[in-house]
Chain A
Amino acid sequence: MNIWHFVLREIRHRKLNALLTAVSVAVATACLSGALVLLKADAESSEKALAAKQQAVESAGAELQDAMRKIMKGLGFNVVILPKDQDLQEMHLTGMINKTMPEDYVDRLANSNIVTVNHLLPTVTKKLNWPEQNGLPIVLYGTRGEVPIAHRDPKKPLLDAVPRGSMIVGYQIGLKLGLGDGAEVTLLGKPFKILKTHGERGSIDDSTVWINLREAQEMLGMENLIHAIQALECHCAGDRISQIRQEIISILPGTQAIERGAPALARAEARDQAKVTAQQSLADEIESRNELRGQRERFAAFMVPLATLGCALLMGLTTLANVRQRRQEIAILGALGLRSRQVLGIFLGKALLIGVVGAIVGLIVGALVGGVLGGSEGGAGVDGATVALSFALAIGVALLGSWLPALIASRQDAATVLQQD
């Protein structure tokens, strides 16, 4: 015979009372564990959603970058390397370069360790009137195709060289000559075969004739000289142009480098802006979710104690009813010699047992409900801390609610009760 024997027999005898107290403890525990599971499930769900969004932003960024590469190819070059003494003001006004530099500059650059430029294209350009075509004004453009950069793996060229004896003509030239591909023409006394006529570009390209660099140099008396090196697909978006300039000038001191292709730059900036916007949108979503989580936490921080208090009160009232119901029993136990602390132990032992049962039931119910509402599996959100907190709360509610009634029971005057009977 011990206190637990009394407790278990009494619970079995007064099932409804035990059930009510266990339910009130379970409700408080379910509120807590449910809130914890729900908040955890919400946090996990947010993390997943944000990770997915982050991935989408990165993927979109990569796609934009790829698209940018193609756009840059279509728009032209990013950096033009010019002789150092070229008057840029004059160049911008006339669209032509009148100073030259040695052709081997391009080889020096290609054989250097330059890392900011992907493709190199040496050119000569000159405005002239095509004597064999009634003085038709054209821009003669001599190119030898791309010069591979020695220290890199070969990249697929963006532009191919024009073979000797061939020419490519712009849209307007083609229109004015009225000749198709394969037609033969003469330029400055040299015969050429039209390799291709470009479609309309709406730029100076429409009035340009592209021939082999070597032939252009011979025709213009510029052997081993070039006007410019076009650096294609430079990594020059944003502030890096200054770095590229420094790198080029350190290799080729007799040159200057300018950025060309403002539309490409604008698009690069737009791409960067799009990335920034997407990142800002992601940051906004994180903030929004954090705010929502904060609201939920504040709500739980208010509701859980309220529910706990209500359940503790219900537990207290039910225990008080139990104490009143057991007045005679307590009195006779007192008459038999039970100490106050033993009577207290009987009631608090019952509360402890009910607290444990309520914790188990409440934890299961809370985890299931929280899991369902939070959109995750029930058990997924239950961790050690949730279990520990649930048990602490359940036992706390049970003991707190029972404390006062148990104290009343332990201090009950046995003689008064026995006299009343």
Chain B
Amino acid sequence: MIRLDKVGHHYSSPDGGDVVAIKDVNLSVAAGKFVALKGPSGCGKSTLLLIAGGLLRPTSGDVEIAGVEPYKLSLEERAAFRANTVGFVFQQFHLVPYLDVLDNVLAPSLASGRKDWKRAEALVEQFGLTHRAHHTPSALSTGERQRAAMARALYNEPKVLLADEPTGNLDPENAAIVLKQLVAFADQGGAVLMVTHASDASSVADEIITLG
């Protein structure tokens, strides 16, 4: 489902030097698998996740997601590909601050064109947020925000779920809920690639890959 072949990425530093973020990384996540990506800070985990999500073009190597090489698509095509194939979950949640929970979950429909209120409501219920459906993120607890972000990531029924430290800011109870949902997504045939430092989080993964 996710295949990274000798992927590298470097960028120019402000002093003009060349900084290598990742180099010759090979990675593969099959459908139905949950892979945890570990490593020290600055080893390029998040960069790898953005490359795997079709957001950051690698400076070398090949990327294939769900049978598509996203960096061979135009920007518009790649955006459409992301909308229909990839789900993102971030440590900082990145909910739209002026939309309530239900609208945040529905936000991906703007990109995909699939407007399904019932699905959005079902996801809100699935993540235990029905009583918060019409609250904006500022009114939610940290755990509720991450659950809302998870619901949003699943709205377009992606084939791949990419999570960057999804439990980093959560209490154990909420962290367990999020991990349970990620496992469930993999169990239903999706591919999960999760960047994490937490050993609890990595313990639920089918495979752990360490960078650096």
| A1-B110, A329-B96, A419-B47 given; A335·B103 CB < 8 A | no
Contact A336 B115 (CB under 8 A): no
**Option from B53, B88, B98, B103 in Cβ contact (under 8 Å) with A1:** B103
| A336-B83, A337-B84 given; A1·B107 CB < 8 A | yes
Total contacting residues, chain B, CB less than 8 A = 35
Within residues 209 to 234 of chain A, which ones have a CB less than 8 A from any CB in chain B?
Answer: none
| A1-B115, A13-B98 given; A336·B107 CB < 8 A | yes
User: Which residue of A has the minimal Cβ distance to B106?
Assistant: A1
- How distant is A321 from chain B, measured CB to nearest CB, in Å? 16
Contact B90 A336 (CB under 8 A): no
Within residues 130 to 186 of chain B, which ones have a CB less than 8 A from any CB in chain A?
Answer: 136, 152, 156
Contact A2 B110 (CB under 8 A): yes
Contact A338 B79 (CB under 8 A): yes
Contact with B along A1-27 (1 / 0, CB 8 A): 111011001101110000000000000
Chain B residue contacts of A415, Cβ below 8 A: 50, 55-56
Q: Is B46 an interface residue (CB 8 A)?
A: yes
Q: Is A161 an interface residue (CB 8 A)?
A: no
Within residues 319 to 371 of chain A, which ones have a CB less than 8 A from any CB in chain B?
Answer: 328-329, 331-340, 342
Contacts across chains A and B counted by CB atoms under 8 Å: 90
Within residues 70 to 97 of chain B, which ones have a CB less than 8 A from any CB in chain A?
Answer: 75-76, 79-84, 86, 88, 90, 92, 94, 96-97
Contact A337 B98 (CB under 8 A): no
Q: Is B109 an interface residue (CB 8 A)?
A: yes
Chain B residue contacts of A329, Cβ below 8 A: 94, 96-97
Chain B residue contacts of A337, Cβ below 8 A: 79-84, 86, 108, 111-112, 156
Q: Is A239 an interface residue (CB 8 A)?
A: no
Contact B110 A335 (CB under 8 A): no
Size band of the A side of the interface? 20 to 34
User: Which residue of B has the minimal Cβ distance to A10?
Assistant: B98
Contact A6 B110 (CB under 8 A): yes
Chain B residue contacts of A338, Cβ below 8 A: 79, 83, 110-111
User: Which residue of A has the minimal Cβ distance to B87?
Assistant: A336
Chain B residue contacts of A2, Cβ below 8 A: 110
The prevalent SS among residues of A at the interface is: helix
Q: Is B208 an interface residue (CB 8 A)?
A: no
Q: Is B99 an interface residue (CB 8 A)?
A: yes
Q: Is A153 an interface residue (CB 8 A)?
A: no
**Option from A340, A342, A419 in Cβ contact (under 8 Å) with B75:** A340
- How distant is B25 from chain A, measured CB to nearest CB, in Å? 16
Contact A328 B79 (CB under 8 A): no
Contact A419 B97 (CB under 8 A): no
Contact B55 A414 (CB under 8 A): yes
| A1-B103, A419-B47 given; A335·B98 CB < 8 A | no
Contact A421 B90 (CB under 8 A): yes
Chain B residue contacts of A5, Cβ below 8 A: 103
- How distant is A420 from chain B, measured CB to nearest CB, in Å? 10
Cα distance A333–B83 when bound, in Å? 10
Cα distance A415–B162 when bound, in Å? 14
**Option from B82, B106, B112 in Cβ contact (under 8 Å) with A335:** B82
Contact with A along B46-68 (1 / 0, CB 8 A): 11001001011000000000000
Contact B94 A332 (CB under 8 A): yes
Contact A342 B110 (CB under 8 A): yes
Q: Is A276 an interface residue (CB 8 A)?
A: no
Cα distance A339–B56 when bound, in Å? 15
Chain B residue contacts of A1, Cβ below 8 A: 103, 106-107, 109-110, 115
**Which residues of B line the A interface, CB within 8 A?**
46-47, 50, 53, 55-56, 75-76, 79-84, 86, 88, 90, 92, 94, 96-99, 103, 106-112, 115, 136, 152, 156
> What are the nearest 10 A-B pairs in CB distance?
A337-B83, A13-B98, A337-B111, A415-B56, A332-B94, A337-B82, A415-B55, A1-B106, A9-B98, A415-B50
A sample of 22 cross-chain residue pairs with beta-carbon separation below 8 angstroms, ordered by A number, consists of A1-B109, A2-B110, A6-B96, A6-B110, A9-B98, A9-B99, A13-B98, A13-B136, A332-B88, A334-B55, A335-B88, A337-B83, A337-B111, A338-B83, A339-B79, A339-B80, A342-B110, A419-B46, A419-B56, A421-B90, A421-B92, A421-B94
